[in-house]
């Protein structure tokens, strides 16, 4: 279905500029009608792009609501099928006036072959990357076809997993599945399941397809970073990446400054150092204003303006202090030279089907974080590198971002092509996100090193000493070499930590060192009082589950399933110890629940009590502890979890406890 203006209208717009010697650069969404089908099926159905195959099947009433009752199990067949998306569109003759026409596939999930007029133009293999293809030579006046074949990630990797010399732990795949492939593919790990969400391994065009036209030159990127700040001024550096079609003398206007540069054909880099007198600094929520500066850049060739670009940046410095001290090993952040206690939560994607998340939902969630007195969110490594709007809102609301790279709870195969793929993924996402003043830290992965050292993987999977050496060498090659090497090239301004946590909660001494995921309360079945006793240097994860409201559950379950031990309700609980542990703590602090609705209410009261105790303990133990990020802020579907805001945006009882705790 159409999602914006048609391509014909777009190119007609461009034609009105044909009297100029060089047409202006232009970018807009490629908006065309789409249909889809299972591979081999001649019957096509309407599709919505951006979207996913599950949503298109739902919209065409081929399947029921994936979140209802146990439909997760009924819909497993979808992940083992290949799917084809197809479109026919028309171009008028004016497109030929453009020197370059590029299709930018901003997000393909995940294994895709793209054909334009039956010519293969792209083979994609990474959900987290975009793909740019020059297409002018293949486009025709009149009718054109665009076809995208999506291969099932399960089918794509099944033989590779079976033939790999080691069985590798795949942390998200808790179901009894023959071939666990999530760690072989660059796709959101939570799509394969987690202990707070279901398994829906989908495919599709999950971000827009842009059509970019350019002539003579274009601005590919601008990055303005803060080099230093003193009482009177800030020193900044702007780095501009430009592509030109032919060598020559080009004129640049950067704000009010005009300069001329001789550029070579291809990629050029221009650097400009400058100072801002008495700068207005960017501060996190609770410490000051989130001031943003704006830049305007234009390029002209022979007095003809051919490219423009606008850019925003904040002036601030951010650094992680992770070094030996009198207590053990510190872990805290300095913003503009000032140590800051971080108050916040872990963030997961807001839906299994990402295109359903509206801009308003992003706005509501970040506003809720701000109103809860938070100043940091951790974008957890089993989800996605979020959309631009997420980081824009964090910039505007003073929410610092601890940004994981997308690796979580698994070991990854030693495959050369995979590492090259990861390298490009890291490069692209660092370049895309580094302009945001909210980005505070890059983190290599979630819980891989603590798992290797403490979870018994070596014994569980029968690794020999030689196996262990080879497996861990590969892990270090990714997280201690590849990723930091790319960061050194593209964002040396921010700090990097190879994993979270750096210290395990198993021994008392570890609470004096580095970052901590404290799961003694929950996985260790410890009492809430241990939240007060066990406080690390920076608490990156901790928490306790609760159920969402009866109203939320009722939207996704039959009335006959609305009791704790129904088959559907037990299926909705993804934690191996969830319901029993909630009941145990309810009975410790309250009378036994009289019915299921009372149980739901008391589960939320219990969660609030636990988080309140933990947050107060963390804040009261400054400067030993300098950060408290509970697990988790939000949900990706309507079920029991550690969230304080449910799938529909409803605040649980614990939200107010967090808000009050972080008001200190």
DSSP string, 111-128: EEEEEETTEEEEEEEBTT
| pLDDT of the residue at 141 | 87
| pLDDT of the residue at 15 | 34
CA–CA distance, 364 with 416 (Å, rounded to integer): 42
Longest dimension (CA), the chain: 81
Contact 331, 320 (CB under 8 A): yes
Per-residue H/E/C for 219-234: EEEEEEEEEEECCCEE
Contact 33, 87 (CB under 8 A): yes
Q: Is the dihedral of CA 606, 607, 613, 616 positive or negative?
A: negative
For 582, the enclosing helix (H) or strand (E) is: helix 578-589
CA–CA distance, 374 with 629 (Å, rounded to integer): 9
So where are the chain's domains? 7-211, 216-313, 326-661
Burial class (CB in 10 A: 0-12, 13-18, 19+), 544: buried
Count, residues in the chain? 664
CA–CA distance, 14 with 558 (Å, rounded to integer): 54
CA–CA distance, 58 with 64 (Å, rounded to integer): 6
* Both structure tokens of 206: 């999950």
| pLDDT of the residue at 24 | 64
Beta-carbon count within 10 A of 567 CB: 10
CA–CA distance, 650 with 61 (Å, rounded to integer): 28
CA–CA distance, 309 with 330 (Å, rounded to integer): 41
CA–CA distance, 10 with 79 (Å, rounded to integer): 36
| pLDDT of the residue at 20 | 39
For 145, the enclosing helix (H) or strand (E) is: strand 142-151
Beta-carbon count within 10 A of 2 CB: 11
Q: Which of the following CATH numbers is that of domain 7-211: 3.30.590.20, 3.30.70.1070, 2.60.120.260, 2.50.20.10?
A: 2.60.120.260
Q: What is the pTM of this model?
A: 0.95
CA–CA distance, 551 with 94 (Å, rounded to integer): 55
| pLDDT of the residue at 499 | 98
215 contact partners, CB below 8 Å, separation of at least 6: 22, 23, 24, 25, 98, 99, 100, 245, 306
CA–CA distance, 98 with 216 (Å, rounded to integer): 10
CA–CA distance, 609 with 458 (Å, rounded to integer): 37
Q: What is the dihedral of CA 169, 174, 177, 179, to 10 degrees?
A: -30
Identify the CATH class of 326-661. Answer: alpha beta
* Both structure tokens of 392: 């824009």
Per-residue H/E/C for 389-435: HHHHHHHHHCCEEEEECCCECECCCCCHHHHHHHHHHHHHHHHHHCC
* Both structure tokens of 370: 């701000």
| pLDDT of the residue at 14 | 35
Contact 10, 90 (CB under 8 A): no
Looking at domain 216-313, its CATH architecture is Sandwich (2.60)
DSSP class of 97:
G
Q: Which segments of the chain have a pLDDT < 50?
A: 1-21
CA–CA distance, 106 with 210 (Å, rounded to integer): 7
């Amino acid at each position: 279905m159409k999602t914006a203006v048609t391509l014909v209208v777009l190119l007609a717009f461009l034609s009105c500029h044909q009297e100029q010697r060089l047409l202006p650069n232009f970018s807009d969404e490629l908006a065309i009608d789409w249909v889809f089908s299972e591979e081999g099926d001649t019957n096509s159905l309407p599709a919505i792009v951006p979207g996913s195959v599950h949503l298109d099947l739902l919209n065409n009433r081929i399947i029921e609501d994936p979140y209802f009752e146990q439909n997760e199990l009924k819909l497993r067949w979808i992940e083992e099928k290949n799917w084809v998306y197809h479109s026919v569109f028309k171009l008028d003759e004016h497109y030929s006036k453009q020197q370059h026409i590029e299709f930018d596939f901003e997000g393909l999930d995940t294994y895709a072959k793209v054909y334009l007029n039956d010519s293969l133009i792209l083979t994609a293999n990474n959900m987290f990357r975009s793909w740019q293809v020059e297409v002018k030579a293949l486009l025709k006046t009149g009718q054109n076809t665009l076809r995208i074949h999506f291969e099932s990630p399960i089918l794509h990797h099944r033989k590779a997993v079976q033939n790999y010399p080691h069985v590798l732990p795949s942390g998200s795949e808790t179901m009894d599945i023959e071939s666990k492939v999530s760690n072989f593919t660059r796709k959101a790990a939570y799509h394969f399941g987690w202990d707070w969400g279901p398994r829906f391994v989908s495919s599709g065009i999950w971000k827009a397809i842009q059509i970019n036209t350019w002539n003579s030159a274009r601005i590919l990127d601008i990055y303005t970073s803060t080099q230093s700040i003193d009482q009177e001024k800030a020193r900044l550096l702007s780095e501009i990446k430009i592509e030109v079609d032919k060598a020559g003398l080009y004129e640049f206007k950067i704000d009010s400054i005009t300069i001329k540069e001789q550029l070579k054909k291809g990629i050029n880099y221009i650097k400009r150092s400058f100072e801002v007198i008495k700068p207005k600094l960017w501060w996190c929520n609770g410490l000051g204003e989130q001031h943003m500066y704006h830049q305007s850049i234009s390029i002209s060739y022979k007095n003809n303006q051919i490219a423009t670009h606008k850019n925003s940046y904040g002036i601030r410095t951010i650094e992680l202090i992770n070094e030996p001290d009198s207590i053990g090993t510190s872990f805290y952040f300095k913003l503009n030279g000032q140590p800051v206690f971080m108050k916040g939560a872990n963030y997961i994607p807001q839906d299994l089907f990402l295109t359903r998340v509206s801009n308003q939902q992003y706005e509501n969630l970040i506003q809720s974080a701000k109103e809860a007195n938070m100043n940091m969110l951790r974008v957890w490594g089993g989800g996605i590198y979020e959309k631009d709007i997420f980081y824009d809102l964090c910039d505007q609301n003073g929410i610092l971002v601890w940004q994981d790279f997308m690796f979580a709870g698994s070991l990854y195969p030693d495959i050369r092509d995979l590492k090259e793929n990861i390298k490009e993924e890291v490069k692209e996402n660092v370049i895309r996100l580094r302009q945001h003043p909210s980005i505070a830290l890059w983190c290599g992965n979630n819980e891989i090193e603590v798992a290797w050292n403490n979870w018994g993987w070596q014994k569980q999977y029968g690794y020999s000493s030689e196996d262990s050496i080879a497996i861990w060498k590969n892990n270090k090659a990714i997280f201690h070499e590849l990723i930091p090497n790319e960061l050194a090239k593209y964002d040396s301004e921010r700090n990097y930590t190879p994993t979270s946590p750096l210290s395990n909660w198993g021994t008392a001494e570890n609470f004096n060192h580095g970052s901590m995921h404290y799961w003694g309360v929950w996985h260790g079945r410890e009492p809430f009082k241990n939240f007060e006793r066990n406080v690390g240097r920076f608490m990156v994860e901790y928490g306790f589950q609760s159920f969402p409201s009866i109203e939320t559950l009722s939207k996704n379950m039959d009335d006959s399933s609305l009791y704790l031990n129904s088959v559907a309700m037990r299926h909705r609980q993804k934690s191996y110890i969830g319901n029993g542990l909630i009941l145990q703590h309810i009975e410790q602090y309250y009378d036994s629940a009289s019915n299921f609705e009372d149980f739901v209410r008391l589960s939320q009261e219990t969660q609030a009590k636990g988080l309140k105790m933990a947050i107060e303990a963390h804040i009261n133990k400054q400067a030993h502890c300098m950060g408290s990020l509970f697990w988790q802020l939000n949900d990706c579907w309507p079920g029991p979890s550690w969230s304080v805001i449910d799938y529909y945006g409803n605040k649980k009882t614990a939200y107010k406890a967090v808000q009050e705790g972080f008001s200190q």
